[in-house]
Amino acid sequence: MKYKIFSLFALLLLTSFSSLPSKNFETKITTIKANNSLSKVESIYLNLKSNACALPSFDCFSIALEGFNKFKEKGIFKKNILTLIDFSKSSNSKRLWIIDLDSDEVLLNTYVAHGRNTGNEFADKFSNKAESFQSSLGFYATAEIYNGKHGSSLKLDGLQKGMNDNARERAVVMHGADYVSEKFIKNNKRLGRSLGCPAVPEELNDKIITLIKDKSCLFIYHPSRKDKFI
């Protein structure tokens, strides 16, 4: 009888210990929490209204959205418009997106040039230095409009020290250019290049400037610096 009672007690004790959370269980909880924190970004991305265009990569979008939110909290951005440029893609592809974060809609997807010394068809060299004729990566705030040699142009303020904060000094602006066109690609096997500005098609220049002016976010991405953006 004593043996049976002891055995029953031992069984109950073992059962109670086995019900305690294991390290694997804790790991799963941590993973679930991490996935839940990402789910908002994933949800926005998966529900973007693309208007039949290809979407930016998830890596590009998620970094851009995280940076947008951080700078927005500081009061730097006044509009919920996010412009993405993915310089990992061929210049022969439409690698600029303008996204309305209020409606989760892609408003425009088009071509954009990189700097003359940044690469030929593909961008692979970047600089924050004057006279480098290279593109600068990172987060920008759109600033004032002016009329320059390329017509209506939009000044940009680089928000990241050492990466793009010399944008004004370098006159890195958004403007239209005739070398940003499918005709130029057809004749030259690649898009034309700027002196470092994110130049866009002439016929879309005014529309783009109107959409993104007045302190909206512009993010220029390349995976080689993905750990430096935020």
pLDDT lower than 70: segments of the chain? 1-38
Q: Is residue 70 within 8 Å of 77, Cβ to Cβ?
A: no
Residue 19 has a pLDDT of 42
Q: For residue range 196-210, list pLDDT tens digits in order.
A: 999 999 999 999 999
d(CA 117, CA 124): 9
Residue 172 has a pLDDT of 98
Q: Is residue 142 within 8 Å of 98, Cβ to Cβ?
A: no
d(CA 178, CA 51): 25
d(CA 85, CA 99): 11
SS3 48: coil
d(CA 112, CA 36): 34
Q: For residue range 30-64, list pLDDT tens digits in order.
A: 444 445 555 799 999 999 999 999 999 999 999 99
Residue 46 has a pLDDT of 94
Facing residues of 157 across strands?
141
Structure tokens that stand for 7 in this block: 């055995």
The model's pTM: 0.83
Residue 205 has a pLDDT of 98
DSSP characters for 115-131? Answer: BTTT-SSS---B--STT
Q: Is residue 161 within 8 Å of 185, Cβ to Cβ?
A: no
Residue 39 has a pLDDT of 77
Residue 203 has a pLDDT of 98
